[in-house]
């Protein structure tokens, strides 16, 4: 009986350690462990990184409880896209999210990025203070790495982050694919 209780507690602790409490998506800790395990052998990986446009302004205007609701709604959209396209959705922290997929063609990755941006805006969550739209939107950057083995988690995310910032600098509510030229300009 006691062993069964200990096993149940261990399972619950593992869930807590790997999931974001607010959105129920995987968290950064899970992502790091997953990528270290998954990318021991060379693979074609696509990493999408996104955040909610003008989210600080949203929180300042509508309040943090409404901000939390937006995070949950965006996470729900991302989880649905992840399920439909065999991706892993992760909340990195704050208003920043990531999705990871394997063996996606360039066309498929572009299509997924477009779906995410479109579906978030189509949710029609009012955002009066946004500079991009009258609704909540996201900016998204993604990188595709062919035959990648896991070297450095931070460097991999940095490439997707550079594409994300290019999308933001180009006006938000859009996506941008990483190219080596971005690291020079961003």
- 95 catalytic per annotation: yes
Which one of 7, 69, 95, 121 is the catalytic residue?
95
SS (H, E, C) 79-144: HHHHHHHCCEEEEEECCEEEEEEECCCHHHHHHHHHHHHHHHHHCCCECCCCCCCCECCEEEEEEE
Alpha-carbon span 31 to 21, nearest angstrom: 15
* Cβ-contact 63, 177 below 8 angstroms: no
Alpha-carbon span 181 to 86, nearest angstrom: 29
Residues with a catalytic annotation lie at 95
């Amino acid at each position: 009986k006691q062993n069964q209780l200990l096993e149940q507690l261990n399972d619950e602790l593992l869930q807590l350690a790997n999931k974001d409490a607010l959105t129920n998506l995987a968290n950064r800790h899970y992502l790091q462990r997953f990528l270290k395990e998954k990318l021991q052998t060379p693979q074609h990986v696509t990493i999408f990184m996104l955040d909610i446009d003008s989210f600080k302004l949203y929180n300042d205007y509508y309040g943090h409880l409404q901000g939390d609701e937006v995070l949950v709604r965006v996470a729900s959209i991302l989880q649905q896209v992840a399920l439909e396209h065999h991706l892993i959705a992760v909340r990195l922290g704050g208003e920043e999210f990531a999705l990871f997929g394997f063996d996606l063609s360039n066309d498929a990755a572009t299509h997924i990025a477009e779906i995410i941006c479109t579906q978030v805006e189509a949710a029609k969550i009012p955002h009066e203070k946004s500079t991009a739209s009258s609704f909540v939107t996201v900016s998204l950057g993604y990188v595709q790495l062919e035959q990648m083995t896991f070297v450095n988690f931070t460097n991999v995310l940095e490439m997707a982050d550079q594409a994300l910032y290019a999308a933001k600098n180009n006006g938000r509510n859009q996506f941008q694919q990483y190219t080596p030229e971005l690291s020079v300009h961003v």
